[in-house]
Each structure stands twice: as structure tokens, then as C-alpha cells.
Amino acid sequence: DRLKVSLAPESELDRAKGLFKMDYLRRLSSTLDRGLFLADAAFNGVPVSELSSELDRYMKVSAQSVNSLMTRLFIPSNIVILNIRNK
């Protein structure tokens, strides 16, 4: 709810971007990881020509765009509550 009413602090956004970039680059660290990454992209319909600019696009996310997304998608009509019980 906090992100719907106020912008994420730049330090928090920078930390999230750093973690995302580290994970993204880890997915390209070995031949197997690169193959899985390319297979995932192919199944999701992402053209190979767009993969080189994908990380840059994610790194350009701003606090305003996060706020806009939160107010547009996280609305009461989209709430789903799951009750999970141990047997």
C-alpha cells in the first residue's frame, strides 16, 4: 500500500535494480544458464534481437512508473485471498 500513495525512495529503487541486474547477469553466467535464458525468451515470444536491450529497459524503471503500476493494478477488485492450512 505504501507504494500506491508515495514514491519509492531512490536508495530502495537502486538496491532493487542492483539485485535484479545481479540475477539477470547470473542467468547468463554459464552455457546451461544462457541456453535456459534463450529458451525462456523463445517461449515468451521475445525476439533475440531485443534481448540485448532488455536489461537497459529494466534499469530505466523510475519511482513514478512503479507508483503508476501499483495504482493501476493493485486495486480492490484484483485482490485474491488464499487460506492455506496445514493438514
19 pLDDT more than 90 = yes
Q: Is the pLDDT of residue 44 over 80?
A: yes
pLDDT band at 39 (very low <50, low <70, confident <90, very high): very high
CB atoms inside a 10 Å sphere around CB 52? 8
Q: Tell me how far apart the alpha carbons of residues 63 and 60 are, in angstroms, rounded to a whole number.
A: 10
Q: Is the pTM for the entire model greater than 0.75? A: no
- Reading phi first (left if > 0) and then psi (alpha if -120 to 50, else beta), residue 50 is in alpha
- Taking a C-beta distance cutoff of 8 angstroms, is the pair 73, 10 a contact? no
Of 24-28, 29-33, 45-49, which one has max mean pLDDT? 29-33
pLDDT of residue 54: 87
| pLDDT attached to residue 14 | 94
Return d(Cα 7, Cα 13) in angstroms, integer.
10
